Structure 1
Amino acid sequence: MTPTVRAALWMIGSIASFSAMAVAGRELSGRYDTFEIMMYRSAFGVVVVLSLAAATGAWRQINTRNLGLQLLRNMAHFTGQNLWFLAVTLIPLAQVFAMEFTSPLWVVVLSIFLLGERLTATRAIAALMGFIGILIVARPDMGNLNLGIVAAASCAVFFALTNVLTKRLTRTQDITTILFYLTTTQLVFGLLTAGYDGDIALPDAASLPFLALVGVCGLLAHYCLTNALSLAPATVVVPIDFVRLPVIAIIGMLLYAEALDIWVFVGAGVIFAGNYLNLWFETRKPRAQTA
């Protein structure tokens, strides 16, 4: 089995996990608010991360360096994830995923300010294409702009900030430490935000499987994606990841009678083109410099 085929199989796992998490989040929205969903997701995540760390001995790698950066990174992720869960309850799932795909283009913008990277003409064009894609997907006007669209567009920015800060953390920290602080700090954030009113909805027999699904799939999706990127170039993995859009559109149609909006696919195509243009150029720069 070639590395590309193996990467594709990992991406099938990632696509299935992200899609399952979106469906579970919508199913839970009738009983739990987004803060409570995030609290339970983080609780399951803590159990999984600590169990794996104990089983592999990786817990020895956990340290207290860069706590400020860890906190900032996880606040960004917590905010983005809450906005994402809010969006999946308010607008069609395909629209949420299309907006989420602008996150890599926001990374281009944020990297200039946070990582000191240079803005090239290609990166500027890619970012502009992403913005045009957002306008096509959202088609904002006074009658169409709503909280769900704003939440979906905003979550992509916070996910991008999370990725940029993660890149900074990987310079000095291993994945076990990053995941440990991701789950534990977000569990604290979840407890504080979900319990601010003194009322936290407890799991029942009907919702517990969905809560477990959110917690496990949240970690599994990124684990599968990371493995895929380790086996194949991003220019191979990213097009596969965009399969999430038609998959979730079909799921939304079958489970929730959501209409298949052609403009969501057109906008997502523009966003994909911007992402792929940037990836294509960046992966070929080293070859040009060494030629």
Structure 2
Amino acid sequence: MSAPGLETHAAADRSGEIRAALWMTGAIASFSLMAVAGRELAGHLDTFEIMTYRSLIGLVVVLGLGAATGRLRDIRTRRLPAHLCRNLFHFAGQNLWFYAVGVIPLAQVFALEFTTPIWVALLAPFVLAERLTRTRLIAAGLGFLGILLVARPGLTPVGPGHLAAALAAVCFCGNVLATKSLSGTDRVWTILFWMTLMQAAMGLACALVDGTMTLPDATSLPFVVAVGICGLTAHLCVTSALAAAPALIVAPMDFLRLPLIALVGMALYDEPLEIAVFAGAGLILAGNLMNLRSGGRR
């Protein structure tokens, strides 16, 4: 017979995994809806305008919920330069991502985006003084092979969209490293507030460089709102999933985004289901799991 304490612990683990799965279902839906909304907005707004409206909607939501829950006091920070650094990386990466979803198949965008954790594992030793291990180097090699399978240089044209998606992953890596540093001193609500405020200002400044700012019309407005809401719900769902279960459980769930968005791309935009994209994503997933298992053992 097993000890009651062990049974209770196992039941708690299962409960956490179920909660994590439910939260990741919301995250996958949010990311997928944001990609579709970004594709639909590509012909109406430029990426800077999309980011401006996304951030303004997010700021209104954060302020409204913060006022209702008494969390506005959490927005104070002594690390504004660190917030600025984080948001520069995230703003650049998100603009590149919105550009990519408008010009290349959605499955390729998501597959290339999944290299972000591998870039984090490679660069963390230089930024956060972590150790660069052989496992991390092997994982990076698998990720690089996965990128080659997804993009297939020489066999298919590699355009600006592929480069944008790959660079977006690098920028998201900078965002992750900066967030990891900030999370030691600032709360999630603080990070969300300064993210929406700073990126609204960045988006507005970049959008007005040409002297014009396109307003959403009746056709584009629903997609603008979808981008703004999904950007926040995706962050909330992933954060909640990681709080409910270990990253080793959550990360493979996130990769379910790829087959889903591939089916969405096929259904809405006649994008082909390519075996090479799934094979490349599998190598990237293997590299990410190697890093997670290595970190779990440590």
Equivalent in 39, 42, 55 of residue 68 of structure 2: 55
5 Å matches for 1:191-270?
A: 191-270=204-283
Query: Is 1:76 the counterpart of 2:89 in the alignment?
Result: yes
Q: Distance in 1 between matches of 2:185 and 2:154?
A: 45
Q: Distance in 1 between matches of 2:31 and 2:156?
A: 30
Following the alignment from structure 1 to structure 2, what is the Cα–Cα distance between the partners of residues 233 and 64? 28
Equivalent position amino acid for 1:40 in 2: Y
Which residue number corresponds to residue 4 of structure 2?
Answer: none
Q: Is the 8 A contact 2:117 2:173 kept in 1?
A: yes
Gaps spanning 5+ residues in structure 2: where?
1-13
> Does 1:35 find its partner at 2:52?
no
- Which among 16, 26, 40 is matched to residue 13 of structure 1? 26
**Structure 1 gaps, min length 5:** 286-291
Structure 1 residue ranges, 4+ long, deviating more than 2 angstroms after superposition? none
Cα shift readout 1:28-66 (whole Å, capped 9, x = no counterpart): 111101111001000101001111111111111221411
The residue that corresponds to 2:7 in the other structure is: none
Query: What's the counterpart of residue 169 of structure 1?
Result: 182
Task: Tell me which residue corresponds to 2:9.
Answer: none
Offset at residue 171 of structure 1 (A): 1.2
Determine the C-alpha separation between the residues in 2 that align with 1:114 and 1:3. 32
**What is residue 121 of structure 1 aligned with on the other side?**
134
Paired position in structure 2 for 1:138: 151
Q: What is the CA-CA distance between 1:233 and the residue it aligns to? A: 1.1
Alignment map for 1:183-194 (pairs within 5 Å): 183-194=196-207
TM-score by length of 2: 0.94
TM-align CA RMSD: 1.1
Matched, 1:94 2:107: yes
Q: Is the 8 A contact 2:77 2:186 kept in 1?
A: no
Letter in 2 for 1:111: A
Give identity over the alignment, percent: 58
Query: Which residue does the alignment assign to 2:8?
Result: none
Equivalents in 1 of 2:279, 2:142: separation in Å?
A: 12
Q: Distance in 2 between matches of 1:263 and 1:256?
A: 19
Q: Distance in 2 between matches of 1:142 and 1:98?
A: 18
Q: Distance in 2 between matches of 1:225 and 1:176?
A: 15
How far apart are 1:79 and its partner, in Å?
0.1
TM-score (norm 1): 0.96
Relative to 1, partners in 2 of residues 1:33 and 1:251: Cα closer, same or farther, differing over 3 Å? same
Aligned pair partner of 1:180 in 171, 193, 200: 193
Structure 1 residue 141, shift from structure 2 partner: 2.8
Q: Residue by residue, what CA displacement relative to the aligned partner does 1:252-287 show, whole Å, maximum 9, x if unpaired?
A: 0000000111100000000000001111121122xx
The 3-state SS of whatever aligns with 2:210 is: coil
